[in-house]
Chains A and B, each alone.
Chain A
Amino acid sequence: MPTIYIDDNPYEVKEGKNLLDAVLSLGEDLPYFCWHPDLGSVGACRQCAVIQFQDEEDEQGRLVMACMTPASEGTRISIQHPDASQFRENVIEWLMVNHPHDCPVCDEGGECHLQDMTVMSGHNYRDFRFKKRTHRNQDLGPFINHEMNRCIACYRCVRYYRDYAGGGDLQAFAAHDHVYFGRHEDGVLESEFSGNLVEVCPTGVFTDKTLKRHYTRKWDLQSAPSICNHCGLGCNTIAGERYGTLRRILNRYNSSVNGSFLCDRGRFGYEFVNDDARILTPVMKNVETRQFEEVSEDDAVAKIAELTRDKNSVIGIGSPRASLESNFALRTLVGSNRYSSGMSNAETELVNLSRQILNDGPAHSASLKDVEKSDAVLVLGEDLTNTAPMMALAVRQAVRNQPVEKAKQAGIPEWNDNAVRELIQDEKGPLYLATPTNTKLDDVATKTYNAAPQDLARFGFAVAQFLAEESPKVIGLDEDVKSMAKSAADALKNAKRPLVISGTSLLNKSLIQSAANVAWSLCANGKKAEIALTVPEANSMGMSFLEGQGIESAFERAASDDIKTAIILENDLTRRVDSKAWNQFLKNVENIVVIDHLENETTAAADILLPAGTFADSDGTLINNEGRAQRFFQAFEDDSAVQESWRWLQGVLDLGKDTDVSDWYSLDNVFSAMTKSVDTFKGDIVVAPDAKFRINDQKIPRSPYRYSGRTAMKANVDIHVHKPPQDPDSPLSFSMEGYSGKQPSGLTSFFWSPGWNSVQSTNKYKNEVGGELRGGDPGIRLIEPKRNASPKYFTEVPEPFSPREGEWLSIPLHHIFGSEELSAKSFGLSKRAPEPYVALNPSSAEKLGLQMESRVSVKLDGTEHTLPITLHENLPDGVIGLPVGLPDFNGIPLPNWSKISGATE
């Protein structure tokens, strides 16, 4: 560990860092703009100047940019040196020359890195009397607001958008102080990760357009640490509320999961929480009029307790979008053999298979960080950008690892971003993509292979066969597919950290099995192979821990047994089963009890409907695809009857008296009851600090200490200021009161540090820049591989796909915007969702005599849809793609055989 001297004090720093990184990691303050922990240094803004001395004798020193100078042994610098601080002040002064007088109307205000750095550098008076240059803005779509006047030309945005996230439509234009950051013309930013510009841009050029519609300053938000609900990866977020509505989602740094970034679905998909369709009171259907009528909470609970008195007449259908605790409460109420996971049978089987592979096999279940660190990647079947967006971003970083290694050997440190990129140019590490059609990652792939799902699985098995003799042979493979499999196998074998990715999105078992075979055969070759399997929803993996049966099985049970009552938990079943089965189910059961937060077709069928909390107004635990249990906390509490689903069920259980649930007044107790009684959880598991956790006897506040308006916000209703609500489930307080130091990891409701109001304050919460949060990253992995287990290879290689005459295999195509139920109901996101379509390849379209704008009718599972076609160059013959989750296709089981014909208008 090199020792460096800052203003004559010695400090030990980590090898291979630059001075800025080292100084910040030591907890010191030094202004900067163009450097970013995930983007490295380019030395563009000249803000991080320090004086470097040759040796102890040197009194003169010279001005250097800290971000471009390695922190090598014996480096002597001064941050406080008058020349350095004068220089930094002047740099800000020059930046301010053209900066508009906008802070009061700028959404960045109060969390603006430029404001912070201006104050830090001491430039506090404007002397400039001349004219400012101005720019016109662009309309960049529903997510991002553009205000170009505020730009300081730090180039972070384009470096993030193009170099890091692989976007193509944001660019720097023009020259000198005319330089302009935007698109070539007005239009929606194409990248699925554009929302991160809001946090990357140190000024108010790019701000959150959804926040703008209900703008609130950072200091006025009551926030809670949360977990993204919109896919199986479980990215860490901060959910911020004001006046009873959710205002925005911000990234919450977790070095093992999402790091510094989120996808746009996660960031902008929150507005369903404020939707008019929220269920706010318990209602019951009048037997005669069949209309909902409001009932008291007690009556509703008592009625359900009565219906569930005879346990043998009840089934419970849980949900992969509800918390573990709520699902467990339901499972307790109905009994584990009458409890369903709320996923289709097919999905249940695949998720269980995934857990079994991760749990019993020798390959390590990869976190997003592991994905980012891997140096050879094979993707089997997943269109990651649309099924697990942040994993796609991680893969984009992974392909740089091998070339960057070369740069390191050439003596260029990784943080020297421009030099590294100059050296490696377009070189990419190995990434083999096997997907049904083209994906957004194709541009960084070494090779792509597009085929029907079972052919993709055959490809996977072929790769495994090249790596291990014991893995089954694939017979009758095309030569070119075989040679691609060979080169993929070689690349994986030669890598230090090979990774195999697959998942459930195509609902194909063989694909996942083939991925397991590849990963395990790598392990057999002595590699520390990683495997990442994506799952459909936020708590799908959690469902496999609770071991519920599939919906179809539950429906069968409802038909055969004496089932009178069904309790449906946070689940719109009409999205998952076809309408025939659903209607039959409704006929079979007399009473339908639904607990959910948004009105949908299932809640419309309810006899009793109870209001549940969303992720923002309830607490709970989710398990992500990696097997990491993570807790989300309630951001706000309002006066409505909304509460956690498990609390409703606790009320019912309490009246039933079969189970002692008297201590279920707190989430912690429900969670520990679950880990004790469900065998798949082994023993004591601590996901987050419990509700009794205190620092200096104080709770951890949800709001910054400058939270405003406390004595006025509700004064129009009642002049008396009431005590804030109490929270039995967490150590967080519903106010600014409590421990005022840095909140511990996992309980961070906002990042703030004196002098650092912007998101850059995150650095102060880390052990070191780019490293773990102090106190360790939150969450706990419940799945660890059996490293020494000898792999039991899957032996069933599927038959090759053969197109049928007159019939088409319809496979699901996922969309980051639109396929997921809740986010699709959010204002901004709904504007980006595609219209329903049928995708097929141009030659098939030609055969059917279809043109670009043709509409076709698709007969599928007894239903018929007339839809426009979309041409997908690479979709295999005999296969059509249908968008998942769009209203038209709800409940239609895919993949499936269908018939299509040109529509007669």
Chain B
Amino acid sequence: MFSVLRSIWIVLKHTFRKRETVQYPEEKPDLSPRYRGRIVLSRDPDGGERCVGCYLCAVACPVDCISLQATEDENGRRYPEFFRINFSRCIYCGYCEDACPTYAIQLTPDFEMAEYDRNNLVYEKEDLLISGEGKYPGYHFYKVAGLAIGGKDKGEAQNEEEPVDIHSLMP
């Protein structure tokens, strides 16, 4: 009996609280940047594609809705030849973002993706790629990795010695 009365009292109290519900769509809700909505592919500080086509997001995805093919430019820089997310399957779990070693793939606070035709929920790289760095400014995978690419030779990454001269006899 007491608990019933208490419940009624709590409900009544809420009548006078500040409203959480907003008049969507006239009014947009305030979403945290880490909200897990539409997925984007970001760029590194130099404007190059961040994604290196490592397939880790694809393998992390529990519904297998990411598929891509890695390729290389003439200077050995890897990037995805195509990158496809089937959002009609995506559950917005964010595992791909967790798995991504380059901060390329990020979930954003945009959820307005409804479509009349399911086919329009298939996003290709052109649809996913944004022009900025997204949530993680400053990170540049190739500046950390040992691979030489155009504009970054061996020994020029962070914390790297000059390449070894194997003809040298110095200790």
Real complex partners, A and B? yes
User: CA A150 – CA B155 in complex, angstroms?
Assistant: 14
Q: Are A134 and B145 in contact (CB under 8 A)?
A: no
User: B residues 1-23 with Cβ under 8 Å of A?
Assistant: none
Task: Tell whether A299 is near chain B: CB-to-CB under 8 Å.
Answer: no
User: CA A102 – CA B124 in complex, angstroms?
Assistant: 26
Task: Tell whether B147 is near chain A: CB-to-CB under 8 Å.
Answer: yes
User: CA A212 – CA B171 in complex, angstroms?
Assistant: 36
User: With A104-B54, A132-B146 given, is the CB distance from A711 to B65 under 8 Å?
Assistant: yes
List B contacts of A212 (CB < 8 A): 72
CB distance from B32 to the nearest CB of A (A): 27
User: With A180-B166, A711-B64 given, is the CB distance from A131 to B161 under 8 Å?
Assistant: yes
User: CA A137 – CA B145 in complex, angstroms?
Assistant: 15
Chain B window 130-171, contacts with chain A (Cβ cutoff 8 Å), 1 for yes, 0 for no: 000000000001001111100000110101111110111001
List B contacts of A109 (CB < 8 A): 54
Interface footprint category on A: 35 or more
**Number of cross-chain contacts by CB at 8 Å:** 135
Q: Are B164 and A105 in contact (CB under 8 A)?
A: no
Interface residue from A134, A178, A180, A217 paired with B155 (Cβ < 8 Å): A134
List A contacts of B166 (CB < 8 A): 135, 173-174, 178, 180
Q: Count B interface residues, CB 8 Å.
A: 50
List B contacts of A136 (CB < 8 A): 154, 163-164
Q: Are B55 and A220 in contact (CB under 8 A)?
A: yes
Q: Are A134 and B146 in contact (CB under 8 A)?
A: yes
User: With A131-B159, A176-B171 given, is the CB distance from A104 to B122 under 8 Å?
Assistant: no
Task: Tell whether A587 is near chain B: CB-to-CB under 8 Å.
Answer: no
Task: Tell whether B70 is near chain A: CB-to-CB under 8 Å.
Answer: yes
Task: Tell whether B58 is near chain A: CB-to-CB under 8 Å.
Answer: yes
User: CA A173 – CA B164 in complex, angstroms?
Assistant: 11
CB distance from B61 to the nearest CB of A (A): 7
Task: Tell whether B102 is near chain A: CB-to-CB under 8 Å.
Answer: yes
Task: Tell whether A719 is near chain B: CB-to-CB under 8 Å.
Answer: yes
Task: Tell whether A706 is near chain B: CB-to-CB under 8 Å.
Answer: yes
User: B residues 61-113 with Cβ under 8 Å of A?
Assistant: 61, 63-72, 78, 84-86, 88-89, 101-102
List B contacts of A712 (CB < 8 A): 64-67, 84-86, 89, 122
List A contacts of B146 (CB < 8 A): 100-102, 132, 134, 147, 149-150
Report the nearest A residue to B78, measured CB to CB.
A105
User: A residues 95-117 with Cβ under 8 Å of B?
Assistant: 100-105, 109-110
Q: Are A708 and B55 in contact (CB under 8 A)?
A: yes
Q: Are B161 and A134 in contact (CB under 8 A)?
A: yes
Main DSSP-derived SS at the A contact region: loop
CB distance from A750 to the nearest CB of B (A): 15
List B contacts of A102 (CB < 8 A): 145-147
List B contacts of A707 (CB < 8 A): 64
CB distance from A72 to the nearest CB of B (A): 41
Q: Are B147 and A100 in contact (CB under 8 A)?
A: yes
Interface residue from A101, A133, A174, A710 paired with B64 (Cβ < 8 Å): A710
Q: Are A105 and B52 in contact (CB under 8 A)?
A: yes
Q: Are B161 and A104 in contact (CB under 8 A)?
A: no
List A contacts of B161 (CB < 8 A): 131-134
List A contacts of B119 (CB < 8 A): 719
List B contacts of A215 (CB < 8 A): 53, 70-71
Report the nearest B residue to A177, measured CB to CB.
B164
Task: Tell whether A801 is near chain B: CB-to-CB under 8 Å.
Answer: no
Question: Could you say which of B124, B141, B147 has the most chain A C-beta atoms within 10 Å of its C-beta?
Answer: B147
Which 9 pairs between the two chains have the least Cβ-Cβ distance? A100-B146, A709-B67, A104-B54, A712-B67, A708-B58, A710-B64, A715-B86, A174-B166, A712-B86
Known: A101-B145, A135-B163, A709-B58. 12 other contacts (CB 8 A): A102-B147, A131-B160, A131-B161, A134-B163, A174-B168, A180-B164, A212-B72, A217-B55, A220-B59, A708-B55, A711-B64, A713-B67
24 contacts between A and B (CB under 8 A): A101-B157, A102-B145, A102-B147, A104-B56, A110-B55, A130-B159, A133-B164, A134-B146, A134-B160, A147-B146, A174-B167, A174-B168, A176-B171, A180-B166, A215-B70, A216-B69, A220-B58, A708-B64, A708-B67, A711-B86, A713-B67, A719-B86, A719-B118, A719-B121
